[in-house]
Amino acid sequence: MGLAVWCEDEAGPFRTVPHPGGSWRPEGRPATQPHEYVRAGTAKILTLFHPATGRVSLRPATSGTNTVLHGWLKEALGQIVAALPARAAPLDPAANRALWQAWQDGLAVRFSLPADLPPLRILLVWDNLAGHKTPEMVLWLCRHGIMPLYTPLGGSWLNMAESIQRILKRRALDGQHPSSPAEIGVWFEQTARAWNRQPTPFVWNGKRRRRRRRPDDGHPIGGSAAHTQRPLSHYRKSRHECRTTCQTTH
């Protein structure tokens, strides 16, 4: 239908403690973790994910309050809407409203659509939290052509942002011992930039599609009903470990 689908979720809190996980180390010098650590706070990761391209946008934060989350979402989604190509021909108001209303069909609880609706451009999938339903935020989304779609309670598997967050967390923190929330945020940002240099698109893999798939049709991903056309590496060396290994072997 020419609509862009984006998924949003908040990951964390991630603590400043040793995180278990495998790592590449020089032979005979296994990675070790301290038996004592200081709890220096936690970090949360605000995430926007575009399954069709695999691109991810995130922002580290020390809290996920409405003020923090909504401010970042308005900035990020505003840029996304501005980058979309212009529609070839505008719909008449009745057809445009019907397109918006079609995404509320079958819902037990619906929100009232504003009287003046712009062309629908984006579907935003996110969790069914009270903070995501504040009138001010919902009206802002509608004014910018964004239809919020809330996953039902216990339906986190419907949000593909869950999967990309698991991948980024594993690559950023496994086997590491962050010393501060800021360091956790930097590691996530570095991991996201590396991912976006060669992103992997995600494809929905719900029950209806699974009935039609072949045995070799994609690779499932933990965290949601999504899969990829090629397998993903479960681990990626950090810069520090690569540097240590290279200095030892050369």
Q: What is the pLDDT of residues 96-134, one digit of tens each?
A: 899 999 998 878 788 889 988 999 999 999 998 888 999
Q: Any idea where the domains of the chain sit in the sequence?
A: 4-19+38-80+109-249
Q: Determine the pLDDT at residue 124.
A: 95
Give every residue of the chain whose pLDDT is below 50, as ranges.
209-211, 235-250
What CA–CA distance (Å, rounded) separates 115 from 241? 57
Classified as helix, coil or strand, 1 is coil
Q: Determine the pLDDT at residue 66.
A: 92
Residues with Cβ within 8 Å of 40's Cβ and at least 6 positions away in sequence, in order, are 16, 179, 180, 181
**CATH topology assigned to domain 4-19+38-80+109-249:** Nucleotidyltransferase; domain 5 (3.30.420)
End-to-end CA separation in angstroms for the chain = 55
Token pair of 79 as six digits? 């840029």
Peptide bond into 148 cis (omega under 30): no
Q: Determine the pLDDT at residue 244.
A: 38
CB 52 within 8 A of CB 9: no
What CA–CA distance (Å, rounded) separates 21 from 134? 39
Across-strand partners of 10? 46
> What pTM value is reported for the model?
0.79
Using H for helix, E for strand and C for coil, what is the string for 15-62?
A: ECCCCCCCCCCCCCCCCCCCCCCCCCCEEEEEEEEECCCCEEEEEEEC
The DSSP string of 130-152 is GGGG-HHHHHHHHHTTEEEEEPP
Q: Determine the pLDDT at residue 245.
A: 37
Q: Determine the pLDDT at residue 107.
A: 80
